[in-house]
Amino acid sequence: MIIDFHNHYYPPEYLDAVKAGRSSIKLDYDAEGNPRLHYPGDYNILVPGHRDLDYREKVLAEHGVDMQVATFTTPGVHMEEPELAVELARAVNDAYAAERTRRKAFTFLATLPLNDPPASVAELERAMAAGLPGAMVFSNVNGVALADARYEPLWRKADELKAVIYIHPAHPLGVEAMEQYWLMPLVGFLMDTTLAAAHLVFAGVPRRYPNITWVLCHMGGAIPYLAERLDRGYEAFSECRKNIDQPPSAYLKQFYYDTVNFDPNCIELAMAFAGPDHIMAGSDYPHQIGSIPKMLHALRGLDVTEEERRKMMGENAARILKL
C-alpha cells in the first residue's frame, strides 16, 4: 500500500470565501485561469489538483498511489482576523470530514485558527471528533513560535486526544531577505521547520506530551543533519538542559519525517537518524516543486530491504493514522 503523507488540498468553501473578498489574502489568476494565492515571499498556483478531488483520484490511479493524507497549506487561516480564521478553519475541516467519508483515497488532517489559541483547542477537539486524526500546524504563527506558552493548552489537548501533529513551514521572520530566486520556499521553509522542531524539543514540549505523534515536513528541514550539533548544545549550555532530561536527538528520533527531499542520499541520512520506522512517503503534490513520480522513484531506488521499503511507502503512515 502506498500512502502519500505530504500533499495539499484547498476545498471550495475556502476558495469561495477568498473570491468573495472576505479574506486578507491577495488573489489573482495565471494565464491558464488558475487562482494564485499570494503571501510574503511566495505564492501558490492552484492547479486543478489543488481544488478537484475527482481529478486527483485519476492522478493517484495513474501512479498507483492508494491514499493521500491531504492538508491545507500556506497561507493558512492564521493570517486572517481571528473571527474569520475560526470560521474558515471550521469550513475547511467540515469539508475534509465530509470528503473523508465519501472517498477511500483520502484522509485529512485538520487546519487550526492558530492566531486564536483557545479556539484552536476547541477546533482540534471538534475536528478529531468528526474523524480527522490530528492537525497540520505551521512552524510559526505570524512570528510566534509553537513553543510559546500560549500554545501549551493546545499541546495538552493534542496529548489527551493522542493526535498526529504535522508541522509545515510558514514564511519565517526576515522573509524580506528571501524574496529573490524563490529563496523563501527553497531555503526559508526548511530552516523554519528546523527552528520550530528544535525550539519545541528544547522547550520540553515533546517530553511533557508523549502521546502526540509529531511529524515534520520536508524530511525535517535540516534536523537529521544538525541533530548532533543540537546534542552538543545540550552538553554545553545549562539552558539547553533546563526542560529536557535527554539529548535533543533522543526526542527528535521519535518524530516522523516525510520524504519531500527526493535525493536518495538525504533519505538514507534520515533513515540512519530516525530509522525506517519513522520515514513516510511524501510528494508535496500538486505544488510546482512537488512530484509523485520523484517520490516513488526515490523510494524504489533505495538500497533497503523490501520490508523497510513497505514501511516507508505506506505501513508507517497507516500505523500512526490507525487506518
We report the CATH number of the domain holding residue 141 as 3.20.20.140
The pLDDT, as a whole number, for residue 312 is 98
Q: In what order do the strands lie in the sheet with 3-8?
A: 3-8, 67-71, 106-108
> Which residues, at least 6 apart from 197, have a Cβ–Cβ distance to it below 8 Å?
167, 214, 216, 220, 221, 223, 252, 255
> Which residues, at least 6 apart from 32, have a Cβ–Cβ distance to it below 8 Å?
none
The chain-wide mean pLDDT, for the chain, equals 96
Question: What's the structural domain count of the chain?
Answer: 1
Domain interval for residue 18: 3-321
Whether 73 and 96 have beta carbons less than 8 Å apart is answered as no
Pairing of strands 144-145, 140-141: antiparallel
The pLDDT, as a whole number, for residue 139 is 97
List, for residues 258-296, the tens digit of each pLDDT value: 999 999 999 999 999 999 999 999 999 999 999 999 999
Dihedral sign (CA 319, 166, 168, 208): negative
What number of CA atoms fall less than 13 Å from residue 147's CA on the CB side?
18
> What average pLDDT does range 56-81 have in this prediction?
96
What is the DSSP track for 181-210? TTHIIIIIHHHHHHHHHHHHHHTTHHHH-T
The pLDDT, as a whole number, for residue 301 is 96
The 10 Å Cβ neighbour count of residue 176 is 10
List, for residues 120-167, the tens digit of each pLDDT value: 999 999 999 999 999 999 999 999 999 999 999 999 999 999 999 999
The pLDDT, as a whole number, for residue 263 is 96
Q: Select from 302, 244, 312 the least CA-distant residue to 277.
A: 312
List, for residues 88-97, the tens digit of each pLDDT value: 999 999 999 9
The pLDDT, as a whole number, for residue 233 is 98
Using the predicted structure, report yes or no on whether residue 42 has a pLDDT greater than 90: no
The pLDDT, as a whole number, for residue 40 is 84
> What average pLDDT does range 49-59 have in this prediction?
97
Using the predicted structure, report yes or no on whether residue 16 has a pLDDT greater than 90: yes
Using the predicted structure, report yes or no on whether residue 41 has a pLDDT greater than 90: no
Q: Which three cell numbers stand for residue 260?
A: 519531500
Whether 66 and 314 have beta carbons less than 8 Å apart is answered as yes
Q: How many residues does the chain have?
A: 323
The pLDDT, as a whole number, for residue 33 is 94
| Element (DSSP H or E) covering residue 71 | strand 67-71
DSSP letter (8 states) at residue 17 = H
What is the DSSP track for 82-151? HHHHHHHHHHHHHHHHHHHHH-TTEEE-B---TTSHHHHHHHHHHHHHTT--EEEEESEETTEETTSGGG
The pLDDT, as a whole number, for residue 226 is 97
Whether this prediction's pTM lies above 0.85 is answered by: yes
Q: Select from 190, 189, 249, 252 the least CA-distant residue to 39.
A: 189
Please give the span between the terminal C-alpha atoms of the chain, in angstroms, as a whole number: 11
